[in-house]
Structure 1
Amino acid sequence: MVPCSKENRPMTKASQKSTEKTTPRPDTVRLQRISKAFWESAAFMSAIELGTFTAISNGADSIESAARAMEIETVNAERLLMVLTAMELIERSGDTFSNAPDVERFLVRGKPGYAGPWMLFAKPDWRKWGKLTEHLKAGQEEQRRLGMYDETFTIERARKYHEATYSIGMGAARRFHKQVDLSGRRKLIDLGGGSGCYCIVAAKTYPELTAEVLDLAPVVAVTREYLEENGVADRVTATPCDFTSDALPKDADVAIMASNLPQYGREIIADVVARVHDALVPGGEFHLIGEISDSDGRGPLAPALWGLAEALAHSTGLAHTVSDCVGYFESAGFESISVHEFIPNTLTRVTGIKP
């Protein structure tokens, strides 16, 4: 008989129990939390609509005073504040409440960085998300090249859309211009630039720079309002353009495409990147900023969800990966291609130079 070594010795009942203790038995807690995640979203959005965070910031920091400020019953204020505390959106000390730092900065009405409209941006899509299974079963014949930007996309829809996205867009534009030095550049084009945030900040940062926002006609009508409001309409223009198919200006040395990447499929983006390369002057740079997944396709979650959302719009869009985007740049002929974290776990910037 060959004696058993420690490696192949049979596991005793005692050692088996010890292993079971160190390996937690799966339960449904995480799964239940995911299934009810929309409860948290509902509480969060109601707090914004009711002005809860604004009320607390202005001194209505008890259940009773917050109830009066929100014009709801005291018991409902208690219910809501308890959830917001558990979500760590507000902090509680005895019977007094205060906003968490990020809430105080971005969700108090009247403050410069107020982002309430952006946080409510997805609320109109609740019913669609409830029918996600039906949308996922839709056939390819129902796909639309431009997704939500079909013939029903009006000036009023564009205005409402950009009222929600403008504040967050300005924040992203300021971040970009802190990361990227455009000194010496002469003209910037922004593909699908919407309210014109990247061009507005560029014009205010670089007096010698001109810029052009390229977007669909209903959007451009709204873009011009933001350009006038920011006092840059003399140096920033807005031109009706479907950048996925129309000719691009040939005199720019900087191009940006930001936060609209998941709306389009791989074939469309590869073609756009190639046409940007051809349109830029030699030495020009292109910055593709978007909700980009890691090359291994394991995350982050935010880009994956933005890609999934395109099923609701029946577009060709999806979550592109870093390797996808680098491949588009390489195939187009860009050099000095680099990848940069833009907003952690949400946005990535891919940059290339035209030789």
Structure 2
Amino acid sequence: MPIQPNFLERFAFFTLNAAPTPMLDLAGALGYQALSTAVRLNLFNTLQERPSTLPELVQTLNCQERGLKHLLSALAGIGYVVAKNGRYHNTTMTEKWFTDGTMLDLNNAVTCWDAFLRDLWPHAPEVIQSGERPYNFYDYTANQPGLSHAHQQMMFGNANLNAPDVTSRVKLPAGPTRLLDVGGGHGAYTIHFCQEHPNLQATILDSAIALETAQQHVDAAGLDGRVQLQPADIWQIDWGQEYDLILLFNFIHHYDQETNVKLLHKAHAALKPGGQVAIFDQLESKQFGSAISGLLQLISLMYYLFADGRIFSRDEMRQMLGTANFSNIQFFTTPKWAGQSLVTAVK
């Protein structure tokens, strides 16, 4: 976790500006590298199986004792492990977010971010200077062995954290209904909607490599008879017609306003009268505190650097939906969504 200054340290860093506050950002970078090292060594899963002494971990993880002791001390200092009676244990935070298996998939998130920080972020100065990227983010993730699956698994974990709240806020009519999930490669939201609505039939539209992950999750949920996976370029294919609900989740941040209006026109044409489009994405909002607002600006920078994307405001979202002839626009958010918002609108 981020280093937590005590009261006196906060006073020195933030109130008096007497200590070099940017050092906390540097400490965060060091903390991430320690965390990444632990994940690559499989340390947390090893401790989940059995709390262990340092000599036991040296043998199990095939490590040099001095180096492993330094790593464990660093991880204890930032709240990931704790030593009790000579044995190292995961903290409750580590158990919840790294080894529980039902929450976020932070192990795959670390795999992704190791790659992004190594291969993409070093190009940030030239991207900001020229506006050009020497990579295509989607080709990059697709062509790196294992990275596409890790990326989809990371997104699947994020979605599972939010999906119960999201699905409960999107109302569908009684009886048989149809859903189109555009760019829903990992399948999590479609699965949750199908579990919430037994008469729902769904189609997930995404690239073939993304849908490989969706297939695994759809099969595991026993929904292969209700969920169709359609590999295609979303801009080249006809989406069909008469859908009750179209999902554009974690999608609009990839494009500019003009392109998003075209996207929303395609959604409008594919819905039946009275059908809904639902958008779940980061949106700027005055409802958020300073931590979430700061995080959103960092995420917006990331979207720009990686894929020429951005985060939109609620007013921009209203304008785009209105231009695409949607009405009854509603916004929902909760602190649990950490800066993300749900937007629904009706054809």
Q: TM-score, normalised by structure 1?
A: 0.79
The answer as to 2:302 corresponding to 1:302 is no
Q: Corresponding residue for 1:161? A: 151
Deviations 1:188-232, CA, capped at 9 Å, x for gaps: 111101122211222233221100111134434554454334332
Q: Corresponding residue for 1:177? A: 167
Among candidates 121, 135, 149, match of residue 138 of structure 2: 149
Aligned partner of 1:123: which letter?
A: D
Q: Corresponding residue for 1:11? A: none
Change (3 A) 1:65 1:220: closer
Q: Unaligned 5+ residue runs, structure 1?
A: 1-20
Kindly state the Cα deviation for residue 302 of structure 1 after the two structures are TM-superposed: 3.4
Aligned partner of 2:109: which letter?
A: W
Among candidates 168, 183, 198, match of residue 189 of structure 2: 198
Q: Corresponding residue for 1:337? A: 329
Distance 2:282 2:141 in 1: 25
Indicate conservation of the 8 Å contact 2:180/2:246, yes or no. Answer: yes
SS at match of 1:340: strand
Q: Corresponding residue for 2:72? A: 81
Q: Corresponding residue for 2:243? A: 252
- Which aligned pairs between 1:58-97 and structure 2 lie closer than 5 A? 58-93=49-84, 95-97=86-88
Distance 1:167 1:139 in 2: 32
Deviations 1:27-79, CA, capped at 9 Å, x for gaps: 45321221343211111111112222223223334434333333222222221
Deviations 1:306-336, CA, capped at 9 Å, x for gaps: 32223443x3311222222232223323222
Aligned-pair identity in percent equals 17
Aligned length: 328
Among candidates 302, 312, 315, match of residue 323 of structure 1: 315
SS at match of 1:78: helix
The answer as to 2:92 corresponding to 1:105 is no
Indicate conservation of the 8 Å contact 1:300/1:345, yes or no. Answer: no
- Highest CA radius of gyration, 1 or 2? 1
Among candidates 333, 347, 350, match of residue 343 of structure 2: 350
Distance 1:123 1:61 in 2: 27
Change (3 A) 1:304 1:245: farther
SS at match of 1:318: coil
Aligned partner of 2:194: which letter?
A: A
Deviations 1:123-159, CA, capped at 9 Å, x for gaps: 101122133112212235x599xx5235994596644
The answer as to 2:267 corresponding to 1:276 is yes
RMSD value, Cα: 3.2
Indicate conservation of the 8 Å contact 1:261/1:291, yes or no. Answer: no
SS at match of 2:284: coil
Q: Unaligned 5+ residue runs, structure 2?
A: 1-11
Aligned partner of 1:351: which letter?
A: T
Distance 1:183 1:68 in 2: 59
